[in-house]
Amino acid sequence: MNTATAHVAKTDPNLELDSQAGYFARRTWRDWLFAALVLAGGLYAFVNYEFAMDGYERAILLATIPVVVWLGWFWRPLQGLMAVVAALSLLALWLYQGDLARADTAFLLKYFLSSQSAILWMSTLFFLATLFYWGGALLPSQREAWQGIGSKFAWVAVTLALVGTMVRWWEGHQMGPDIGHIPVSNLYEVFVLFCWMTALFYLYYEAQYRTRALGPFVMLIVSAAVGFLLWYALVREAYVIQPLVPALKSWWMKLHVPANFIGYGTFALAAMVAFAYLLKTASARALWVGLVAFPVVFLIVPVAGFRWLGDAELAGALDKTLRMAVPLVVFFALTIAGRKLINSTTPSLVMMDDLMYKAIAVGFAFFTIATVLGALWAAEAWGGYWSWDPKETWALIVWLNYAAWLHMRLMKGLRGAVSAWWALAGLVVTTFAFLGVNMFLSGLHSYGEL
C-alpha cells in the first residue's frame, strides 16, 4: 500500500481486506448501476447518431464506454460528477427545445446552463475556490472550514465547466452541419479544458493524500488560466462558435487534444507543488533570484532581442504577455514574503515530492501518447509524420525535458530542490509550447493569436 492508502487503512481496518478481494468482487451496487447507465447512454448515442459518424468515430464512442466505466470505478466521486453533468446537460438541451434563441429568454439557460453562462460560472467559482483555499492558508484557525468550502467550489466549477463544454458541443451542431465539433479546437475552448482537467487532477490527489494544503498553489494556476480565458474571450470574441479550419476536421482531434491537455494539466500541477516545495526548502535569496530571473530570461530579454532584430510584432506580443504576467509575479512575491505562515500549512516534503513525481509521470505518459497521435494526424492531414513545425519542435522540447527529469529521478535518484526547480522551469517551457507557439510563431498549428 502507498502512504495515502496506509493512512486510510488506519481509520478503516476493512480497507486492506477489501483490497485483497477480486476486482469485480469489490464492486458495489452503485458501481454496477453506474456501469449500466453508461452502457445505456453510449448505446443510445450509437443507435441514434451512428449515421453522423464515420467508422473511426463509432469505434471511439464504443471504446469510450468501458473507459468511462473504469474511471468511475477507479475513483468513485467521478460517478456522481458524471451523473450531475449528464443530468444538467440534458436539462439544458430540453430547455432549448431546438431553438438556440431561447438562450436569451429561458431563465435557467440565460443565467446558468447555456454554454457561455456555465463557463462564466465556472470562472467565478474557480476564483472563489482560490480565495477560500488561500483564506484557509492564511487563517490557521479557520483552515479546515475555509479550504473545505474552496474544495466544494472547485468541484462545482469543474461540473459547470463540463456542462458548458457539453452544451457548447450541442449548440455548434444546431448552428449547422459544418459548424458543430468537439469544443477543443481553439484557445478559448482548450483553456476551458485545461482549467477543469487541472482542477480535477488536483481534487483526485487532494483525496488521495487527504490534504487540502496544496489547493492554494494549484488553484492559483487555474485562476491565472481563467483570467487569460476571460481576457481572450473579451478581446477576440472567442466564445463565438466558429466552423473548423480544414486541417482540424478530423477524428484525430478527439484523441490528440485531450491527451495533450492531460499532460499540460498535470505538468502545471507538478510545477505548483514544486513551488510549495521550494517555499519550504529554498533560501529566501534563491527564491527572490528565481522570481526575478524567470520574467527576465523568458520575457524581458526576448522582447529586447526581437526589438533589436526589428520584429516589432513579436516584441509587441511578448510585451502584452509580460503585462499579463505582472499580477502573477506580484502574487508570487507576496507568497515568498509570507512563506513562514504558509509553510506551516503545507504537507511534508516527502508527500510533495511523491505528488510531483506522480503528476509528471502521468503527464509524460499522456503527452507521449498525444505526440504519437499528433504524428499520425499530421501524416493524414499534411502527408508527413514530422515537419519541424514550431509546435512540433516545442512539443519535442517539452517531451525531452520531462523525459530527462524522469530519467534523472529513476536512474540517478534526483530529489529535493533541484528536481523542484526543474519542474517549475518546465512549466515555463510547457506554457510556451501550449500558448506561445500558437500566438508568437507562424506555422501549421497557428490557430490563435493575441
Answer yes or no: is 75 within a domain. Answer: no
Answer yes or no: is 381 within a domain. Answer: yes
CA distance 59 to 124: 37
Q: How does pLDDT run across 136-177, given as a tens digit for each residue? A: 998 888 899 999 999 999 999 999 999 999 999 999 988 877
Q: Does 209 lie in the same domain as 311?
A: no
Burial class, 222, CB count within 10 angstroms (exposed 0-12 / middle 13-18 / buried 19+) = buried
Q: Does 268 lie in the same domain as 227?
A: no
Q: Does 443 lie in the same domain as 368?
A: yes
Answer yes or no: is 27 within a domain. Answer: no
Q: Does 306 lie in the same domain as 195?
A: no
Q: Does 119 lie in the same domain as 236?
A: yes
Q: Does 234 lie in the same domain as 286?
A: no
Domain end call among 243, 270, 291: 243
Answer yes or no: is 31 within a domain. Answer: no
Answer yes or no: is 121 within a domain. Answer: yes
Answer yes or no: is 62 within a domain. Answer: no
Q: Does 225 lie in the same domain as 166?
A: yes
Q: How does pLDDT run across 338-390, given as a tens digit for each residue? A: 888 888 889 999 999 999 999 999 999 999 999 999 888 888 877 778 788 88
CA distance 261 to 250: 18
Q: Does 124 lie in the same domain as 190?
A: yes
Burial class, 44, CB count within 10 angstroms (exposed 0-12 / middle 13-18 / buried 19+) = exposed
Q: How does pLDDT run across 64-113, given as a tens digit for each residue? A: 999 999 999 999 999 999 999 999 999 999 999 989 999 999 999 999 99
- In degrees and rounded to multiples of 5, residue 22 shows phi and psi of -65, 160
Answer yes or no: is 59 within a domain. Answer: no
Domain count, the chain: 2
Q: How confident is the model at residue 11 (pLDDT cuts 50, 70, 90)?
A: very low
Q: Does 142 lie in the same domain as 230?
A: yes
Q: Does 389 lie in the same domain as 273?
A: yes
Domain enclosing residue 271, as ranges: 262-450
Domain end call among 184, 211, 243: 243
Domain end call among 243, 274, 298: 243
pTM passes above 0.95: no
Q: Does 202 lie in the same domain as 147?
A: yes
Q: Does 333 lie in the same domain as 186?
A: no
Answer yes or no: is 11 within a domain. Answer: no
Buried b (16+ CB within 10 A) or exposed e, 327-349: eeeeebeebbeebeebeebbbeb
- Residue 63: its pLDDT value, please? 92
